[in-house]
Amino acid sequence: MAQTAAAAGLTPQQWDAQFNTEYLGNNPFKPYMGTGTNSIIQVKRNLTKKKGDSITYALVNKFTGSANDGTSKLEGNEEAGVSRSHKLTVGLRRNAFSTTEFEEQKSAIPLRKAFKDEMMNWAIEEDIDRVIEQLYSINGVVYGSASEANKDAWLVDNADRVLFGAAKANNSSNDHSASLANVDATNDKLTPDALSLMKRIALSANPKIKPVRVGGNNKRYYVVFAHPLCFRDLKANSTIQQAQREVTLANQNNKLFQGGDLEWDGMIIHEVDDMTTLSGVGAASIDVGGVFLCGAQAMGLGIAKPWNTVEKTETDYDNEYGCGVRCIDGLDKMTFGSGSADTDDLKDHGVVTGYFAAVADA
C-alpha cells in the first residue's frame, strides 16, 4: 500500500511558525513591548509593508504656556509647538547550523530539533544583550566604545536623569569617571530610598519620564532593570522584604510583573542576569552595576522582517542540510534633542540611569 508523505518544502514553514511562537513566548522582554506610546519598548512595523532601512520616531513636546484670560488677543500670541525626531536604522542579523544525514543517523537525539531549540535560545540571548547594550549606551555609542569626552558630554545633557549611587551630590561637576569614583561599597548600594529618589528624578526631569499605565484603573508604574548584584542588595534590605509581604495578588498579576520581581513605590524591579558590570570604576576600585528606571518609550524596536527560519537541503546530493535564523530590525534607546535644533543636546527620553555598588559575593 502506498504511503502519503509530506512534501519536504512544507516542513520549514511549520517549523518557522513554531519558532516564532516559542521565541516570543520565551523572550523575557516581551511583556514590556507594544505598538503604542504607553509601552516601554515601542514596536514599529512600518518597514514590513514598504522598503527602507530606517524608521523615524516622533516626539511632540507638551505645551507649557499660561492660559490666556481674555484681556489680550490670542491671535498673534499663540504658543509655538515643539516636535523632535529619532531615526532608528534596521539591519540584518542571522545565524545558522548544518549537519549531515549520517550524523543525524548516528545521533541518539534528533539533531535538527535540538539545534532548532538552541537557535531560538541564541536569538533570545542576542536580543537580551542588545537591550542591555542600549540601556548603557552613550548617545547611540556602545558604552565600552564611548570616550570619556563622549560620556561627559552625555552627562551634561542628561544630568537631570542620572544618579551615581545614593545621592545626587555624587555627581562631580558632570565628570562621568569622577562621579563613578564616588560610588562606594557601603553607602551606595541599591536601597528602597535610592529607588524612590530615582522615581522623583524621573518625575522632576525636563521633560519628565512618563510611567506606564496598566489595567483599567490606569495605575502607573515604572519598570526598573537591575544588575543582579544590585538586585541582591535590594532584596536583602529589611524594608523591601516587609514591602513584598504586602504586595497584593492583583498587582502580581499585572502584565509587567514577572516571577521573582520586586515592587516598591510604584516601581517593578526586574533582575537582569547578564547586566554588564563596570569593573573597578567605583571608590577603592569597586565594581559598579547599572540600574535603569524605564518609563514609556524608553526604547524603540523597528521591525522590517521578524525572526524567521530558512532551511537548506540541496547540498552534496542531499547529504548535507542546515537551518538558519534571521531577522531585519533595529533596537535603540530613545533619545530626543533638547537644544535649538531637532537633534541637538540629546536626552535619554524614557530612562533614568543609576550606577550602584556591585561588589561580588565573598
Domain count within the chain: 1
How far is C-alpha 245 from the geometric centre of its chain's CA atoms?
28
Task: Give the total residue count for the chain.
Answer: 362
H helix or E strand, kind and range, residue 302:
strand 299-315
Q: Is residue 218 part of a domain?
A: yes
Q: Is residue 56 part of a domain?
A: no
Q: Is residue 220 part of a domain?
A: yes
Q: Is residue 291 part of a domain?
A: yes
Looking at residue 19, what is its pLDDT? Answer: 55
Looking at residue 319, what is its pLDDT? Answer: 76
* Closest C-alpha among 253, 188, 194 to residue 224: 194
- Please give the Cα distance from 6 to 17 (Å, whole number): 17
Q: Is residue 29 part of a domain?
A: no
The residues with which 270 forms a beta bridge, in sequence order, are 225
Residue pLDDT, tens place only, 2-58 = 544 444 443 444 445 555 556 555 677 888 999 988 999 999 998 777 888 888 887
Residue pLDDT, tens place only, 185-209 = 999 999 999 999 999 999 999 989 9
Sign of the four-CA dihedral 177, 180, 185, 186: positive
Looking at residue 187, what is its pLDDT? Answer: 97
Looking at residue 9, what is its pLDDT? Answer: 42
- Strand arrangement of the beta sheet that strand 320-333 belongs to: 33-34, 41-44, 299-315, 320-333, 91-100
Q: Is residue 272 part of a domain?
A: yes
Q: Write out residues in the chain with pLDDT < 50, as ranges.
A: 1, 3-15
Position of cell 516636535?
83
What the block records as the C-alpha cell of 178 is 569622577
Q: Is residue 15 part of a domain?
A: no
Q: Residue 289's domain spans which residues?
A: 158-298+348-357
Q: Is residue 90 part of a domain?
A: no
Looking at residue 120, what is its pLDDT? Answer: 78
Looking at residue 285, what is its pLDDT? Answer: 98
207 upstream amide cis, omega within 30 of 0? yes
- Please give the Cα distance from 359 to 362 (Å, whole number): 9
Looking at residue 48, what is its pLDDT? Answer: 79
The residues with which 60 forms a beta bridge, in sequence order, are 83
pTM (two decimals): 0.85
Is residue 76 left, alpha or beta, with left meaning phi > 0 and alpha meaning psi from -120 to 50? Answer: left
